[in-house]
Structure 1
């Protein structure tokens, strides 16, 4: 599972990593949570004949995919992740797997080691060699009853590799730069043609750093949440709220 992640690179660094011409300015984000806007990249319009440059476009989407057929979003679960093993057969993800595959740039993600059925030690999991990583993403545009449209998305997950399995049994699917073009090519490649990309990253790709429980609270958004530490008593217990209840989360960019 991937329930929190971070994107702390500059817009220029992110654009260069994704093979794009440029991105609008955005701040470093250390604690990205469900229902907040996340940056995704997808294939753009077909290039002119003879062009070798990748044509990709960026999009801000609400993290939490809503299929087009949903009638009442209040009664539908928040789909922040999609299990890659059966995504192409699932009604919620079938269309996006065929037509709207995307990349989710990240500096790393957070995971919690389970302890007695409860959230235990949190970890900041980042590429061992530093830099950015791209998670496999899916995009779906949901038409609300009032007529407005909302772009939504999810991150594909896979069984955890040997380096992460002691923390959690799932991890995000990593798409490496040499495979960006294949993954994003929804015009000529079917899901079966890119199924080989839905694999766990190599065991030594990530490093897991134990951090304090500051990351547990969405309101904590500074770099201190990535500092090495251990779980301690929460100073203030975060109030529970329904997914999407905080409209201000959609104005972070």
Structure 2
């Protein structure tokens, strides 16, 4: 799964990377502790070109009467995203890319203590997650999104059984629907050897924590 991540790339660099038109109300960066329900940086495709825009991280099905009318849907499993009533139409028609520098995951000690890890790309490139999105609300529609997850690859299986689906640059057009059909073939854990990970300070266990120190490698005694 993915329940927390970091984003550091400036918006103008994001727009240049994706050749996308940026919105004026993008979230502030850097943010080393992106939490569910906040706005995140999302790229969409379409006939008018790619757009870089803010979306609420937490997909809201159209039948919810309020954002808290049911479970908080921050992730969508690749194995079932095309079948679940909440996600299936978005999976066919509204796929997106969600930008990150890396994400956090937790393990537990035998005593139940949560130990945070930070996971990023070895090559230092931005980490681009597969996402789905839809507008929610009638009077003032609000775009909302979820991160698609897969089974963990051999890199991360020792930390968690799930991971975000990472989309490589060559596959962006396929996932965004710009290159025709075939996005389903992208829904796999991805090749091993792409990622690096290290323990970080438990301060990130709090959703109020902030600052670049959250992703620094923890030096243990």
Instruction: With the length of structure 1 as denominator, give the TM-score of the two structures.
Output: 0.80
- Larger mean CA deviation between 69-78 and 172-181 belongs to 69-78
**1:141-160 alignment, distance < 5 Å:** 141-143=135-137, 147-160=139-152
8 Å Cα contact 1:213-1:231 kept in structure 2: no
Displacement of 1:85 in angstroms is 0.4
Kindly provide the CA deviation profile for residues 119-157 of structure 1, in whole angstroms up to 9, marking residues without a partner as x: 62111100011020210011111116xx33221110000
RMSD: 2.2
**1:218-237 alignment, distance < 5 Å:** 218-229=207-218
Displacement of 1:23 in angstroms is 6.1
Paired position in structure 2 for 1:217 = 206
8 Å Cα contact 2:23-2:54 kept in structure 1: no
**1:20-39 alignment, distance < 5 Å:** 20=20, 24=24, 26-39=28-41
Paired position in structure 2 for 1:238 = none
Give the aligned length.
Answer: 219
- Larger mean CA deviation between 180-189 and 198-207 belongs to 180-189
**1:49-60 alignment, distance < 5 Å:** 55-60=49-54
Paired position in structure 2 for 1:166 = 158
The separation in 1 between residues aligned to 2:112 and 2:74, in whole angstroms, is: 20
Paired position in structure 2 for 1:43 = 45
Kindly provide the CA deviation profile for residues 208-231 of structure 1, in whole angstroms up to 9, marking residues without a partner as x: 111011111121110011111169
Paired position in structure 2 for 1:239 = none
Displacement of 1:45 in angstroms is 2.2
The separation in 2 between residues aligned to 1:187 and 1:205, in whole angstroms, is: 25
8 Å Cα contact 1:10-1:28 kept in structure 2: yes
The structure having more radius of gyration, on CA atoms, is 1
The separation in 2 between residues aligned to 1:87 and 1:135, in whole angstroms, is: 15
Displacement of 1:72 in angstroms is 4.5
8 Å Cα contact 1:112-1:119 kept in structure 2: no
Q: What secondary structure does 2:124 align onto? A: coil
The separation in 1 between residues aligned to 2:112 and 2:84, in whole angstroms, is: 29
**1:1-253 alignment, distance < 5 Å:** 1-20=1-20, 24=24, 26-46=28-48, 55-116=49-110, 118=112, 120-143=114-137, 147-185=139-177, 188-189=180-181, 193-229=182-218
- Larger mean CA deviation between 10-19 and 35-44 belongs to 10-19
Segments of 5+ residues of structure 1 without an aligned counterpart are: 47-54, 233-253
Kindly provide the CA deviation profile for residues 42-101 of structure 1, in whole angstroms up to 9, marking residues without a partner as x: 10325xxxxxxxx20122111100011223443300000000101000001011101110
Q: Spell out structure 1 runs of 4+ moving beyond 3 A.
A: 21-26, 114-119
